[in-house]
Amino acid sequence: MNTPAVSISLSSYGADLVRQRGQGSFIEILAAAGATRIEWREELLTTEDATQLADATAAEGLESVYSSPMELWLAGQSKPNPELVTALQRAQAFGAKWLKVSLGYFTDNNDLQTLARTLTQSPVHLLVENDQTLHGGRIEPFQRFFTAVEQHTLPIKMTFDIGNWHWQDQPAANAARLLGRHVGYVHCKAVTRRADGKLIAIPPTASDVHLWEQLLRHMPQGVMRAAEYPLQGDDLLQLTTEHVATLARLGQTRLESVHV
């Protein structure tokens, strides 16, 4: 049985620690923990050298996802964000096969043909994520966007962030049912509301993992998944190993029942 690819978003280790240690310091931890992919975070980069990180990652047998906070569509502009070209180039420099961005302000007037031409000039695959904003964190704009993607046969998949739907009170189960077939990457994230009313990401409980199992039933078998919740403790290797194993098992019960 093929084990699904598991990634770790380096933001999981906390912004301060990641900036202090450098993102390259986590490569060996992820490899030893059994992860198959690493998600670089553009907003946490300091003095890292892209080529060195690409080489070190390849040496450990890991693949890369490059996460950029940019929005694919800017308000009031029909053409894709001009920063997309640079982001694709940076992702390639880091050895990443995938670039993850937010949707931004998608409307029916957006220029998909220009987007198509931009993507044909890069070997990097584009992943578009639901974020926590009103314009980029609701189900309906993603339905319209992926309808347009299909019409133009664009090589774009969705990053389905399970936790981010909470910020706009969107039911994750509805999102999975309506968008699941477009998903190429799943950000696993449990969410709770603090006493001050702020939503925050937390490690999953057993009930969270059960929910994730149900959501993945609407997505391609073995879809790539990642931890994007706090992985913080004295023994990062042990902690990471445990969570990689948990994420790798998601959806496997369905596969086992098919093979029985």
Specify the pLDDT at position 252. Answer: 77
Specify the pLDDT at position 174. Answer: 98
CA 166 to the chain's CA centroid: 16
Domains of the chain: 6-259 (3.20.20.150)
Q: Is the pLDDT of residue 253 over 70?
A: no
Measured distance CA(134)–CA(42) in Å, rounded: 23
- SS3 category, 157: strand
Name the pLDDT band for 256 (thresholds 50, 70, 90). very low
Q: Is the pLDDT of residue 260 over 60?
A: no
CB 54 within 8 A of CB 46: no
Name the pLDDT band for 258 (thresholds 50, 70, 90). very low
Each residue of 59-88: pLDDT tens digit? Answer: 999 999 999 999 999 999 999 999 999 999
DSSP output for 184-230: EEEEE-EEEE-TTS-EEEE---HHHHHHHHHHHTTS-TT-EEEE-S-
Q: Is the pLDDT of residue 2 over 90?
A: no
Once rounded to an integer, what is the mean pLDDT over residues 193-216? 97
Q: Is the pLDDT of residue 52 over 50?
A: yes
Beta strands in 121-189 (DSSP E): 125-129, 156-161, 183-188
Measured distance CA(35)–CA(240) in Å, rounded: 8
CB 256 within 8 A of CB 24: no
pTM for this predicted structure? 0.95
Each residue of 141-177: pLDDT tens digit? Answer: 999 999 999 999 999 999 999 999 999 999 999 999 9
Each residue of 234-246: pLDDT tens digit? Answer: 999 999 999 999 9
Read off the amino acid at residue 149.
V
Specify the pLDDT at position 254. Answer: 54
Specify the pLDDT at position 1. Answer: 55
> Which of 15-24, 83-92, 190-199, 245-254 shows the lowest per-residue confidence on average (mean pLDDT)?
245-254
Specify the pLDDT at position 259. Answer: 41
- As beta bridge partners, residue 192 has 200
In terms of Cβ atoms closer than 10 Å to its own Cβ (0-12, 13-18, 19+), residue 198 is exposed
